[in-house]
């Protein structure tokens, strides 16, 4: 029988992180924060092109228990990784910290580098991490870790940024810098904005040109719908050069077209005619049409709970997005294509890959109560294809990063 991966309650997440901290580093008072992963409804690879995207925060969260220290040492432990790590804050710089600790200490480094905290106030800390965000599934487990660390350090170091959206916007930028420069992943800002700035029951329309946001109603339960996330468990990584190559193609195209970003392209046929490289033309076509799909998707949601022709139109946009990511941007994978095709054949109103691609997850928009049947169909199709058994979760729109206790 196919089961859905549950999200932890706040109490369970806090208990797990505190217990891990105590077992690893000994007793003592600790505070706990958490931040959600995200799933993107539509708008893939548009963030670093100053475009539009439409993520929702997952109910599944990464939790950190943090205890301040009086020196410059950071001790780290994660329930998802073996062993402990020790990092001196004075040693944090690009290329110096390997693996998952870079997403934590990188945030500390970026807060200082951005001038948000003086170096002498940036003291060390002990941190224990636990998470129910699937790891390596394209659901922004790395951003959830960064944002949990950011909101913890914001309070630990007395910065006061998490109290309003302007401050959270600054924290999101800090997390992006940490991921780009310390962790070495050239991602845009969608994931961090979703984790820090989302609202429960809403999707977050993010304009990556200026950071502006709008909360778009996304109460699926009111519409008798649910969003199924399919973690294909196909290998997923954004630091192996493929993501960077897509970004470089877009930046090259923008330079050739004489625009600041592909967001500025208003005449797509003329832009494509001006580009000689057929691969670059395909990349541009995806980005420009995907931004348009986000706008149309939001217009449909603004019309009220999805139903009837509007629900069908949402599904059509999801299908077009997946086809564009598969054919023009070439970031899909056989597992993702099979998951999407099977979900639609099993009754989904629409389905598409989500996240950066090269593996990871797909989403399917379903009538409420049909998740088990669709998940079983996808599992059977994966078994027949010889793929790893997929993992499933439901994604009602959750809330942003916050302190748990």
Question: 300-350, pLDDT tens digit by residue?
Answer: 999 988 989 999 999 999 999 999 999 999 999 999 999 999 999 999 999
Q: How far apart are CA 176 and CA 99, in angstroms?
A: 16
Element of type H or E holding 64: strand 52-68
d(CA 72, CA 87): 9
State the Rg of the chain over Cα: 21
User: What secondary structure does DSSP assign to 99-117, as a single string?
Assistant: STTHHHHHHHHHHHHTTSS
Low-confidence ranges of the chain (pLDDT < 50): 239
Q: How does DSSP assign 157-223, residue by residue?
A: TT--GGGSHHHHHHHHHHHHHIIIIIS-----SHHHHHHHH--TTEEEEEETTT--EEEEE--TGGG
For residues 160-192, one letter each, b for 16 or more C-beta atoms within 10 angstroms of the residue's C-beta and e for the rest, the string is: ebbeeeebbbbbbbbbbbbbbbbbbbbbbbbbb
**Confidence (pLDDT) at 108:** 98
Domain 10-218 has CATH 3.30.565.10: no
Catalytic site residue from 126, 191, 231, 328: 191
Name the helix (H) or strand (E) containing 20. helix 10-25
Looking at domain 221-394, its CATH class is alpha beta
Look at residue 118 in the predicted model and tell me its pLDDT: 93
The domain spans of the chain are 10-218, 221-394
Find where tokens 């402990």 sit. Answer: 84
**Could you give the CA distance from residue 217 to residue 199 in angstroms, rounded to a whole number?**
9
pLDDT for position 239: 46
pLDDT at 110 (0 to 100): 98
pLDDT of residue 135: 85
Confidence (pLDDT) at 209: 93
The question of whether 90 is a catalytic residue gets the answer no
pLDDT 10s digits, 224-263: 999 999 999 987 655 467 888 999 999 999 999 999 999 9
């Amino acid at each position: 029988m196919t089961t859905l991966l549950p999200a932890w309650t706040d109490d369970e997440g806090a208990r797990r992180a505190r217990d891990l901290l105590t077992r690893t580093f000994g007793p003592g008072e600790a505070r706990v924060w958490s931040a959600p992963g995200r799933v993107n409804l539509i708008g893939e690879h548009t963030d670093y092109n100053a475009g539009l995207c439409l993520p929702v925060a997952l109910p599944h969260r990464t939790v950190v228990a943090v205890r301040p220290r009086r020196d410059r040492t950071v001790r780290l432990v994660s329930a998802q990784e073996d062993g402990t790590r020790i990092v001196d804050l004075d040693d944090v710089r690009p290329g110096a910290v390997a693996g998952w600790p870079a997403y934590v200490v990188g945030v500390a480094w970026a807060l200082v580098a951005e001038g948000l905290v003086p170096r002498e106030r940036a003291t060390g800390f002990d941190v224990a991490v636990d998470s129910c965000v699937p790891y390596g599934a394209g659901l922004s487990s790395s951003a959830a870790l960064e944002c949990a660390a950011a909101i913890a350090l914001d309070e630990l170091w007395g910065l006061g940024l998490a109290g309003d959206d302007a401050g959270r916007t600054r924290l999101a930028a800090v997390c992006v810098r940490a991921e780009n420069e310390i962790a070495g992943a050239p991602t845009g800002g969608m994931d961090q904005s979703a984790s820090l700035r989302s609202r429960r029951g809403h999707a977050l329309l993010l304009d990556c040109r200026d950071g502006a946001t709008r909360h778009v109603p996304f109460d699926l339960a009111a519409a008798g719908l649910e969003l199924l996330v399919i973690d294909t468990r196909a290998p997923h990584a954004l630091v192996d050069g493929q993501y960077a190559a897509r970004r470089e193609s877009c930046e090259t195209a923008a330079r050739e077209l004489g625009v600041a970003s592909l967001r500025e392209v208003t005449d797509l046929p003329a832009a494509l005619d001006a580009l000689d490289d057929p691969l670059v033309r395909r990349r541009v076509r995806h980005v420009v049409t995907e931004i348009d799909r986000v706008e149309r998707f939001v217009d449909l949601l603004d019309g009220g709970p999805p139903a009837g022709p509007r629900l069908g139109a949402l599904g059509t946009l999801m299908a077009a997005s997946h086809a564009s990511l598969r054919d023009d941007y070439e970031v899909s994978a056989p597992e993702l294509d099979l998951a999407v095709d099977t979900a639609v054949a099993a009754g989904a109103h629409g389905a598409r890959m989500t996240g950066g691609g090269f593996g990871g997850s797909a989403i399917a928009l379903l009538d409420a109560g049909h998740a088990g049947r669709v998940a079983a169909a996808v599992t059977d199709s994966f078994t027949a294809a010889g793929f790893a058994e997929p993992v499933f979760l439901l994604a009602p729109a959750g809330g942003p990063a916050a302190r748990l206790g």
